Amino acid sequence: MNIGKAAKASKVSAKMIRYYEQIGLIPAASRTDSGYRAYTQADVNQLHFIRRARDLGFSVAEISDLLNLWNNQSRQSADVKRLAQTHIDELDRRIQNMQHMAQNPQSADSLLRRRRAARLPPFCIRLDNLTIASRRRVPERCCAVLVVMD
């Protein structure tokens, strides 16, 4: 099947399929005589697996590890369980941070005030090693939440 049909069947956009192929998450698709990508049902199943893993919050690196385990016939169930438990632990940590933010909004306000006092732009916020710079007008309460996640 072509990339459009594979995208529809797997619920992964054609753009993302090309991206996953480019970064090596999935192998390069075979090509038809006219040069179009051709996908099998096994490819669609793998794309669907990737979609579900992304929906569950797994990173691309974690999905790569999961796919390696999925394709390894000699894998141990403990390996899969370890990877899943690591992800669950990270989700628990994030939940605790969010609960702390909800219970302590003053800490978010304090951090935002310190940034302003240091003349740092309030919309340049570091989130898990990712810097987001925005010139959009965002309500201060939203900014405070983002700042606390630093």
Asked if residue 47 lies in contact with residue 16, where contact means CB atoms within 8 angstroms, the answer is no
Average pLDDT rounded to a whole number, residues 97-106: 74
Asked if residue 46 lies in contact with residue 29, where contact means CB atoms within 8 angstroms, the answer is no
Q: Using alpha carbons, list the distances in angstroms from residue 82 to 53, 61, 67, 75, 91.
A: 15, 15, 14, 12, 14
Provide the pLDDT for residue 82: 85
Average pLDDT rounded to a whole number, residues 43-63: 90
Domains of the chain with bracketed CATH: 3-92 (1.10.1660.10), 104-148 (no CATH)
Provide the pLDDT for residue 71: 78
Average pLDDT rounded to a whole number, residues 97-101: 77
Is 102 buried (19+), middle (13-18) or exposed (0-12) by CB count in 10 A?
Answer: exposed
Using alpha carbons, select from 116, 100, 6, 111 the residue that is nearest to residue 50: 6
Q: Which of 39-43, 45-49, 99-103, 133-137 has the lowest mean pLDDT?
A: 133-137
Provide the pLDDT for residue 107: 66
Share of the chain above pLDDT 70, in %: 73
pLDDT band at 119 (very low <50, low <70, confident <90, very high): confident
Q: Using alpha carbons, list the distances in angstroms from residue 64 to 20, 27, 96, 104.
A: 10, 12, 27, 37
Instruction: Please name the amino acid found at residue 58.
Output: F
Share of the chain above pLDDT 90, in %: 35
Which of the pair, 129 or 70, is modelled with greater confidence?
Answer: 70
**50 backbone dihedrals φ, ψ, rounded to 5°:** -60, -45
Which of the pair, 111 or 146, is modelled with greater confidence?
Answer: 111
For 128-139, write each residue's pLDDT tens digit. Answer: 333 344 434 444
Task: Map residue 1 onto helix, strand or coil.
Answer: coil
Provide the pLDDT for residue 120: 65
